[in-house]
Amino acid sequence: MKEKFYRYIQELQDRITSKIEEIDGKAKFQEDIWKRKEGGGGRTRVIENGAVFEKGGVNISAVYGPLAPAMQQYFKVGDVDFFACGLSLVLHPKNPMVPTVHANWRYFEMYDKDGTVIDQWFGGGQDLTPYYLFEEDARHFHRVSKKACTPHGFSLYTEYKQKCDEYFWNAHRDEARGIGGLFFDYLKADSHMKIEDWYDFVTDVGNSFLEAYVPIVEKRKNLPYSQENRTWQEIRRGRYVEFNLVHDKGTLFGLKTNGRIESILMSLPPHVQWVYDHHPEPGSQEEKLLKVLENPVDWV
């Protein structure tokens, strides 16, 4: 399974980066092959200062070795080994009318000292963070996500949409990071689903990503915008940064377990503002977005 999923994310990385370069038309991804001294490594691809994308990263990694003490405590296990691989991406467009997008699909195995697999699971998801709310875009993103889920279980979209709304919640601000999508973790074999079934589910979600995001980018990338729109985008990006550094489990564990810092912080946008006690104008499009972020919406 680990070889099978790693081959999948290698191919998916190629597919996504090729399409993003095509849409941008100016910038190309810079590739960085790196090794982890404890075992494994990855292939980081970053795009910057493009015509459409101000900054973005589409990274894959496969790492292995002894499980770090912090992770042993988290998983409530003893001295075990692990293997983890995944694709993680964040794209920050230049135009404030185009939403930021984040996605991640990953696989994890744990072994005893004899090398026997003692646990294995999939995790991941995809979510959208707009700066200006176009409801048809939100409906499209969720509709495509639901379409990917439904063949594998009628209730999966509803369950993982709710988990996404709960997870990407900036508790200290009492608002959502964005308009959600899917979030799932610890997808393990049980009486209903074999691990191969979960592989099929996760890869169907991964395959849906470009269909969910690209039409939105194409529709919004040439819309006019003002400096005021740009300022609002940078203020909202600050909330994105706050979530990643305060609440995001992947970021926190990467920092605690000697992860590769450039890959971990790849998700942070290049231009951000923190304006003291900022409130948008009553009745404005900016306030409209905040109202939606206060209470998750059922988009489909």
Catalytic residues: 102
Half-sphere exposure of 205 (CA within 13 A, CB side): 31
DSSP 265: G
* Angstrom distance (rounded) from CA 113 to CA 115: 5
**Continuous segment of H or E residues that includes residue 124:** strand 117-129
User: Is the separation of the CB atoms in 52 and 14 below 8 Å?
Assistant: no
* Angstrom distance (rounded) from CA 119 to CA 139: 36
- The burial class, CB within 10 Å (0-12 / 13-18 / 19+), for 198 is buried
Look up residue 143 and give its two tokens. 């509709």
